[in-house]
Structure 1
């Protein structure tokens, strides 16, 4: 379901109702209210002070309010337009919330984490079409990025940027090399993976600008099983040790931090720049563990 499209349709519908109310229906209601008040005052003057309603001011105000009140169909359209518009603009151009559905980014992000994604850092993009209208900052290695899955653009994925355009990325024997330089790893205490109910080897990976934790399961073989066909597949060479890829222009090589439990660029290919949604930067809620709230690398 394309929530951005649904939100856009709601903005258009409620916006039309809001404009129609301001230009047509509200003036009509004001005219009817003034006419009703004039008629009420005329009736009060006709009966005279002796028989006049003691609560005439209250009745007069209530009568005017009733005539000015929006009908139910405007109350449920035009009245919601400002709120829906603000939500649409914030979600499209400032931040967008997402929920982590899988364990591919463990230990950085856990299932059930609710995260915020920066929508302007890499350049503003039009909602629905995702067309970039401002340049913004370039993606950096190590950024955690939400993007539209190249195989099904109605689905959002989250992974870490490993390879930039022109990079040669090798992941062989579970060791990462970028442009011929091994990426430094520092061993950390073993991590208990609750999803797989077992321990995995944990390392601190240094991609230059930032460090992040990754997991490796020694029981899983290094070679890639089930790699699909995808654009620029000729840029990749698969062997019994893993895979080596040269990232084509305008694309990125993405990997999950849970290296043996992540369907990523090793399996379905590169992510075009046009598919980038934004950079994930903050966990705003995890109902199972409130200590998870905060920023992450």
Structure 2
């Protein structure tokens, strides 16, 4: 009896892949691999504005970790690779929002802490006026009214993970009580000074009109970046870190140096929560409690001014007032319990930063990742080899 345990495969008849097919397979593999790395491990970002100076400069290229806080599972899974919310050149949506997944996050290496530098999706970026995106849609509505804005611009809605990416420093976490007095942040009643690499504006008076600006620039101040502005022959506005200011005070031609802070009584309507009963401004506001998962608040007019948007837009509830009663999702309630942690973010360039002082809390489902280090830094004001800031390459972010 003849048993045949196997038959040798004839590979000579197997059709060889064409060069074109090999290239297509390689490209598909590279796209899938790069997408998985971007979503679950690490992603590159560039700093477009000066809101984090001097910690982060315009032209700094960063790597942002998705692993530290746990990678967020995509909430809008169908999208064009490597495009965020808009297709280059075509200026059309780069995603399909007909399929939406609920917020989930993989386990991380750490919790978000105060002073972490974090990339997140802009909370007020849910609604966008396409032709005028620099002020938020809600800022436009507060200034001109909803009907006027809707008639003037093309209005679109963006899912959480397709909103603009911002980068700021966490100054308060869920459960913290935050206030700001004359430019100084207070957390739970204790001072939290601006870090050494942050900057504030100062009014500097020199003893003579013949100011040695070269000596001033040698300390790190830059005329090109508008960090030196002249009021009069002897008075200037300089923006710098506390270290730079202390060095400036030691120059023999400097008379006085005073921080420029907004008057305590100067109400700014653009400051969160945009309530005239709270005369707050960029340097003086609070106290304000940052919501925390499991924290319960009473439903009253004062709390709804502060937390109403979080209850509706971020926690996704309907909220109605009927007479003196409040209804959440059609049910009469006297309290509300938060389901997510929230954070209060600020830029290190305190007077040049659109941050939580203007639009409020950042929910945990908007968190993208933790900024790790700068891998490239490009100075558009530099010349030739000085365009690369060599001293910033591969620098960690504190």
Compute the TM-score of the two structures, normalised by the length of structure 2. Answer: 0.50
Instruction: Report the counterpart of residue 371 of structure 2 in structure 1.
Output: 280
| 1:239 matches 2:340 | no
Residues 94/135 of structure 1: CA separation in 2 closer, same or farther (3 Å cut): closer
User: In structure 1, how many angstroms separate the alpha carbons of the residues matched to 2:371 and 2:195?
Assistant: 24
User: In structure 2, how many angstroms separate the alpha carbons of the residues matched to 1:220 and 1:195?
Assistant: 21
Check conservation: 1:125, 1:134, Cα contact below 8 A: no
User: In structure 2, how many angstroms separate the alpha carbons of the residues matched to 1:76 and 1:187?
Assistant: 50
| 1:143 matches 2:116 | yes
User: In structure 2, how many angstroms separate the alpha carbons of the residues matched to 1:159 and 1:257?
Assistant: 8
User: In structure 2, how many angstroms separate the alpha carbons of the residues matched to 1:191 and 1:274?
Assistant: 38
Instruction: Report the counterpart of residue 347 of structure 2 in structure 1.
Output: 256
Check conservation: 1:201, 1:218, Cα contact below 8 A: no
Structure 1 consecutive aligned stretches of length 4 or more whose deviation exceeds 4 Å = 184-191
Residues 252/191 of structure 1: CA separation in 2 closer, same or farther (3 Å cut): farther
**Matched residue count:** 222
User: Highest CA radius of gyration, 1 or 2?
Assistant: 1
| 1:120 matches 2:211 | no
What whole-Å deviation, never above 9, does each CA across 1:2-58 have from its counterpart, x for those lacking one? xxxxxxxxxxxxxxxxxxxxxxxxxxxx99x945xxxxxxxxxxxxxxxxxxxxxxx
Instruction: Report the counterpart of residue 17 of structure 1 in structure 2.
Output: none
Residues 191/257 of structure 1: CA separation in 2 closer, same or farther (3 Å cut): farther
RMSD: 3.2
Displacement of 1:68:
1.5
| 1:200 matches 2:301 | no
What whole-Å deviation, never above 9, does each CA across 1:167-220 have from its counterpart, x for those lacking one? 11111211111111112468899752543231224237xxxxxxxxxxx99345
Instruction: Report the counterpart of residue 397 of structure 2 in structure 1.
Output: 296
User: In structure 2, how many angstroms separate the alpha carbons of the residues matched to 1:137 and 1:217?
Assistant: 39
Residues 114/76 of structure 1: CA separation in 2 closer, same or farther (3 Å cut): same
Check conservation: 2:227, 2:239, Cα contact below 8 A: no
Instruction: Report the counterpart of residue 209 of structure 2 in structure 1.
Output: none
Displacement of 1:123:
1.5
Where structure 2 has 5 or more consecutive residues not aligned to the other structure, the ranges are: 1-8, 77-102, 126-159, 198-215, 229-237, 244-256, 293-340, 379-386
Where structure 1 has 5 or more consecutive residues not aligned to the other structure, the ranges are: 1-29, 36-63, 205-215
Instruction: Report the counterpart of residue 173 of structure 1 in structure 2.
Output: 182
Check conservation: 2:117, 2:397, Cα contact below 8 A: no
Compute the TM-score of the two structures, normalised by the length of structure 1. Answer: 0.65
User: In structure 2, how many angstroms separate the alpha carbons of the residues matched to 1:121 and 1:224?
Assistant: 39
Instruction: Report the counterpart of residue 192 of structure 2 in structure 1.
Output: 183
Check conservation: 1:96, 1:116, Cα contact below 8 A: yes
Q: Greater share of helix residues, 1 or 2?
A: 1
